[in-house]
Amino acid sequence: MKILAVGDLVGESGVKKLKEILPNFRKENNIDFVIVNAENSAGGMGITTKIFNDLKALNVNAITMGNHTWGKKDIFTFIDDEKLIRPANYSRGVVGKGYNIYECKNKKICVINLIGRTEMGVQSDNPFTKADDIIKEVKERVDYIIVDFHAEASAEKIAMKYYLDGRITALYGTHTHVQTADEEITTKGTAFISDIGMTGPINSVIGMDVEASVKRFVTSLPERYKLAEGNCMFNGCIIEINDETCRAISIKRIYIK
């Protein structure tokens, strides 16, 4: 089994890049299952009905979110679609699902979305104990467990790696939009990378316009952020799993300009 996880789509240009790359990339690399983080896909904040339908048309299997889940009101019209997953450790009773189970090549794949609590500015429940609850609930019913941990701090993501090591198939980070070079298969067989990066404008400050971003840091004034324009990069990772042992055997970073 080969699973492709695509880093945060940033704006409509990031969606366009995904449309350009994904169909051929999927065929050339024998990808079986695709997960895309789309919480920044609509103008840098949230997701619209159009973008959601575009991703479904691309045969994306699962769409994960993050701190900008509620950025566009459209989401409330499709929040219960089986392809969409919002952070599982949002407050109890919040609409939507924090995980879902999918079937692919006669295997059952559980995809979990979690959000970090360090420097995130979002009130959420404990992602560590929430992961415990979900794993306990699904472990007898699934073959693979994949976690998108949408978090700011590398330390929090690495701590989660050790906490879930051997209990899940793969853990990858999203949110920072900067791809890290720490991909590994742990001694207990879990694939890990702190952050898979973004699919969005190359000449930018994590997807945002350079001039506006720099001005904020230089002047400390509340300059309005706006999306950058121009050519985009495609970031993500491929996780390969042994279908007999249900253990990850490789994880490869994807960085295409």
Residue with tokens 């309005």, as numbered in its chain: 224
Examine the pLDDT at 31 and tell me if it is beyond 90: yes
Q: Is the pTM of this model over 0.85?
A: yes
- Compute the average pLDDT of residues 230-255: 97
Distance separating alpha carbons of residues 104 and 95, to the nearest angstrom: 26
- Compute the average pLDDT of residues 190-213: 97
Kindly state the percentage of the chain with pLDDT values over 90.
96
pLDDT of residue 245: 93
pLDDT of residue 121: 87
Examine the pLDDT at 222 and tell me if it is beyond 90: no
Distance separating alpha carbons of residues 73 and 144, to the nearest angstrom: 32
Domain boundaries of the chain, sorted by first residue: 2-256
Give the tens place of pLDDT for each residue, 82-98: 999 999 999 999 999 99
Known catalytic residues are: 68
Residue 245, number of CB atoms within 10 A of its CB:
9
Give the tens place of pLDDT for each residue, 97-131: 999 999 999 999 999 999 999 999 888 999 999 99
Give the tens place of pLDDT for each residue, 124-183: 999 999 999 999 999 999 999 999 999 999 999 999 999 999 999 999 999 999 999 999
223: confidence class by pLDDT, cuts 50, 70, 90: confident
Distance separating alpha carbons of residues 172 and 183, to the nearest angstrom: 9
- Compute the average pLDDT of residues 16-33: 98
Superfamily of domain 2-256: Metallo-dependent phosphatases (3.60.21.10)
DSSP codes joined into one string, 158-199: HHHHHHHTTTSSEEEEESS----S--EE-TTS-EEES---EE
pLDDT of residue 74: 96
